[in-house]
Amino acid sequence: MNGYADSTVDYVNRTRNLRIEQDKLFAQFEMEKLISSIRLPDKTLVMMAEEINEGSQAPIPTSYFREIVYNTEHTIHHLALIKAALIEMNIHAVNEEFGMAYSTLKYRASFA
């Protein structure tokens, strides 16, 4: 979201806020802000990717909607890791679909 105004996405050098990890109420507030501000028009962005061999950055064309989709899929990946930890700890706090990709849910629904 921070790069929308200047049309640049940089996952490597993005701002990090440890308070989000340590303060549940603050994290909820930040999520609410994100939810209320995420509906923006699609537009072309440039993602800055770090080149491993040279230590420099290479611009890669992308779009706002594509980055939203990427972040959604990446979030699902993290939810799956959380679910695996809950299962390992024998904690039944989420349903079976928690942390499952949309494509998996759609595939399973085709057999119902």
CA atoms of 14 and 2, how far apart (whole Å)? 9
CA atoms of 58 and 55, how far apart (whole Å)? 10
Tell me how many domains the chain contains. 1
Confidence of residue 14 (pLDDT cuts 50, 70, 90): confident
Question: Strands across the sheet with 44-50, in order?
Answer: 8-9, 44-50, 57-63
Query: Residue 59 falls within a domain, yes or no?
Result: yes
Decide which of 58 and 28 is more confident: 28
pLDDT in tens, 60-75: 999 999 999 999 999 9
pTM: 0.80
Region 6-24 average pLDDT: 91
pLDDT score, position 52:
67
Query: Residue 74 falls within a domain, yes or no?
Result: yes
Confidence of residue 50 (pLDDT cuts 50, 70, 90): confident
Query: Residue 2 falls within a domain, yes or no?
Result: no
Query: Residue 50 falls within a domain, yes or no?
Result: yes
Residue 87 structural domain? 8-109
Q: From residue 77, how far is each of 6, 43, 60, 110 by CA, in Å?
A: 28, 26, 23, 22
